[in-house]
Amino acid sequence: MAVAARRDSDELRSLREALGDQHDVALCDVADDEAARRWLDSVTARLGAPDALVHAAGPFFRAAESTADLPAWRRVFADNLFAVVGLAGMVAPAMRARSWGRVVVFGHAGVSTLRPPPTIAGWYAAKAALLAFARALAAENAGHGVTVNCVSPGVIETGGMDAAVFQRMAAQVPGGVAGRPEDVAALVAWLLSEEAAHVTGAEITVAGGWDLPRASYKSG
């Protein structure tokens, strides 16, 4: 297995220790095309061409108005969408040639409703575009043993958000409990398995019902 992250951290160091020398844990900004290519070449030389690509990086920004921060829009599209287009372009041809491959990308639960809160319009738009791209890539590779799926989390405790904002969001999940990273990882592991060979072009939410219409909307 090969893991790339943009910044060194205690989590990355623990992961490197836990995985040991047989795996590759490196620093790489995967939204930088040339750096991503260099990283992938070195991984391929060491471990062979990848069977699977999981892109889980999806940084976020908030702005007072949807048009307030154009540079942040560019960055969020680079991290959430263009990095995936670039990496998929590098790995999919070899997967197709071997008639086996898996691509998993990360969307956002509720994005398919296309009802973006204006304060997160840039990130939401990048996730909507990513879902469209994932479906196009799935269609292109269908019948070649290569599946492409989108995992869409709702409110998951990954520690990246302001604690008060996160608590308010978790309270909106039916049952009042945020999801755990393990809930998402279990789905990703299944999508990478042989059992999921017939699942492609799917968006699967892990949101505990957060993205569903509220029961109180029912008439009567």
Ligand X SMILES: NC(=O)c1ccc[n+]([C@@H]2O[C@H](COP(=O)([O-])OP(=O)(O)OC[C@H]3O[C@@H](n4cnc5c(N)ncnc54)[C@H](OP(=O)(O)O)[C@@H]3O)[C@@H](O)[C@H]2O)c1
The binding site for ligand X (CB under 6 A) comprises: 4-7, 29-31, 56-59, 79, 83, 106, 108, 153, 155-156, 158, 160
How far apart are CB 187 and ligand X at their closest, in Å? Answer: 12
Distance of alpha carbon 175 from alpha carbon 155, whole angstroms: 12
Q: In the block, which residue shows the tokens 């942040």?
A: 72
CA angle 15, 35, 72 (to 5 degrees): 90
Instruction: Find the shortest distance in angstroms from Cβ 78 to ligand X.
Output: 7
Tell me the closest approach of the beta carbon of residue 131 to ligand X, in angstroms. 12
- Which of 15, 144 has the CB closer to ligand X? 15
Q: Which of 5, 7, 19, 185 is nearest to 104 (CA)?
A: 185
79 versus 92: smaller Cβ distance to ligand X: 79
Nearer Cβ to ligand X (26/145) = 26
DSSP three-state, residue 148: strand
Of all residues in the shown chain, the one whose CB is closest to ligand X is: 58
By C-beta, is 47 or 56 nearer to ligand X? 56
CA 101/CA 145 separation, integer angstroms: 6
